[in-house]
Amino acid sequence: MIMHPGKPPYAMQDGEGIIENIIKGDFSYPLGERKTGKVPMGPWRFCWSHLTYKIKEAFYETFWRDGMYHAEKKRPSTGHWLRLFNDYLNLLESGKMSAQDEEALLIFPTRFKRDKSKTYAKCKICGKEYDAETLEQGICRTCLNDGEKYRCANCGCEMIYTNYQKFIKHGKRHEICRDCYEKRNTVYQRRSCKDCGRTFEITYGEKEYFDKKGFALPTRCENCRGKQNFTTPTYTPLTIEAYPPPPKPNSIFDVIKNFFG
């Protein structure tokens, strides 16, 4: 909880609860290829990523139910933990960890530890560095999900013209929200055509169109009165995985020194 400020080691996504997770030895943080996919969202997964491999290994083998240190009599000694964290502190103070990744010095890193086998690039919008393969046309997922906020022209609710729509899809800004769009396409009234007798529908959008033009609602079906030019705004829903903003970064030196120095 010191290395993951305030977050219990058995916290996870879709877990049964801390007590049940402890009893089951269900530890969510990964070690190499051993992973559950349940790591809590937010900065916690980044905190874990920036720990040294030996510390991650010691935590994993202690908390995981099949770990070599999980049994009570096999737990690492206090001296063993102190040696691990003194080595960690030495790596931080020597500059070796920051030489590989400057975010190793932060209590709350904003991304995963750099992998030497990957290429990194800065997002064109926020300027933060990411694995180049995760960027879409040079823009990170967080910025793609962000954008210009404005109001629906019909009901006034808040809308967002995302950077994904603007820069990737090159789509136009929608004038009305999804609820208003769907209402415009629902049936306002059903009538019987006075010429052919067939039932036809008038949508809320059509009613709005005729009202704005000062026309009475039609009494004949579309075939009998001839097709009229009428268009409604289009709406394409957008779903992009959003990530909660990490807490403000701070230095990790004092934390290590206070508890393990």
Stretch among 152-161, 189-198, 230-239 having the lowest mean pLDDT: 230-239
Q: Is 98 among the domain residues?
A: yes
**Domain-terminating residue out of 83, 104, 125:** 104
Q: Which of 111, 165, 117 is nearest to 137 (CA)?
A: 165
Mean pLDDT of 108-129: 88
Is 74 contained in some domain?
yes
| Number of domains comprising the chain | 2
Domain final residue pick, 72, 104, 136: 104
Q: Is position 257 within any domain?
A: no
Tell me what pLDDT residue 217 has.
92
252 located within any domain = no
C-beta atoms surrounding 119 within 10 Å: 8
Mean pLDDT calculated for residue range 22-37 = 92
Model pLDDT, residue 257: 62
Question: Could you tell me what percentage of the chain is helix, strand and coil, using 3-state DSSP and rounding each to the nearest 5?
Answer: 35, 15, 50
pTM value is 0.55
Residues 247 and 108: their CA atoms lie apart, in Å, by 7
- Does 236 map to a domain? no
**Averaged confidence pLDDT in the chain:** 86
Over residues 56-86, the pLDDT tens digits come to: 999 999 999 999 999 999 999 999 999 999 9
pLDDT of residue 237: 44
* pLDDT for residue 9: 93
pLDDT, mean of residues 161-185: 92
Residue 129 in any domain: the answer is no
Can you give the residue range of the structural domain that contains 226? 186-231
Q: Give the pLDDT of residue 129.
A: 84
Q: Where does the pLDDT of residue 164 fall: very low under 50, low under 70, confident under 90, or very high at 90 and above?
A: very high
Q: How confident is the model at residue 256 (pLDDT cuts 50, 70, 90)?
A: low
Q: pLDDT tens digits, residue range 202-225?
A: 999 899 899 999 999 999 998 898
Task: Give 115's pLDDT tier (boundaries 50, 70, 90).
Answer: confident
Quickly list H helices, 25-95: 44-49, 53-63, 78-94
Q: What is the largest CA-CA distance in the chain?
A: 94
Identify whether 77 is part of a domain.
yes
What is the amino acid identity at position 106? L
Single residue among 104, 120, 148 that ends a domain in this structure: 104
Is residue 177 situated within a structural domain?
no
Residue 78 has a pLDDT of 95
